[in-house]
Structure formats: C-alpha cells, structure tokens
Amino acid sequence: MNILTLSIKQKYFDEILSGKKDFERREIKPSNVENYVSFIVDGKEYEREEDIPDGDSEVMVKAKSYDKLKLVTGEYKGKRPYLIVEVKDARVEFLYDENGDFIIGMEKGKEYALAYIIFELGNIVETFKDEK
C-alpha cells in the first residue's frame, strides 16, 4: 500500500469530507518533486532528476502512483485530524504562456517549469477528528 501524507487547510479538509471537493492539487517544485513524479528518459524511469544522464534525450514526467492520500489538518502538535482517501487517478499538468512555452518558476535559485499534480479522489476509507 502506497500512501502519501499531505497537510491541508481545514476548509479543504471539510470540503473533501462532505463530498464537495473530489481532487487535491499541489504545485510541483524542486523541493517536493520527488514526492510527486518520476522521470522517463529513453524508456528508463528515474526517481530523482539528478540521476538522469546528461544528453539531449527528451525527458518525460510521470505522476507517481499512490493508492491513498492521508490528508492531515490542524496545528502541528498532538494528534491531528486526518482523512485517508483513495486515489482514483493522478496526473501532471504543466502551465504554458500565450506562446505555448512553459511558464518558469524559481525556487532557491533553481528554475523549473511550473506544474501541478492533480489527485482525483475516491472513497474516504478512514477519518479521525479530535472532538474536544
């Protein structure tokens, strides 16, 4: 079982719990890219961008496969409320400018193509809400 744990704001936590929201979207940045995607070059899959051999080959990005998301909310102390929800699908969406070129972001001096991972959510399989 492959589960990814993410922190989430209370508003979105409640929307998922009530069924109003059926997806979770996260920006893919250099600091979190390994959580969300793997890289495919010449038919070989790489977990880390640093492992891709130098060359002129085209690099493809593939959403990592997760069975479930554990979505945690609340203060970073004690036992926090959470949901465990099935992942029906995951996809990567890049952002493009009006010319069809990647929109470029910057994090800690490193440029990257702006992209999001979109998790399509299924059934909620477990919940924990600390009722005080």
Report pLDDT digits (tens) over 86-108.
Answer: 999 999 999 999 999 999 999 99
Strands 3-7 and 68-72, bridge-based pairing: parallel
Q: Which of 126, 123, 115 is nearest to 22 (CA)?
A: 123
What's the pTM value of the predicted model, to 2 decimals?
0.89
Q: Is the pLDDT of residue 1 over 70?
A: yes
**What is the H or E stretch that residue 11 is in?**
helix 10-18
The reported pLDDT for the residue numbered 130 is 63
> In the chain, what are the domains?
3-128 (2.30.130.30)
- To the nearest 10°, the Cα dihedral for 120, 123, 128, 131? 100
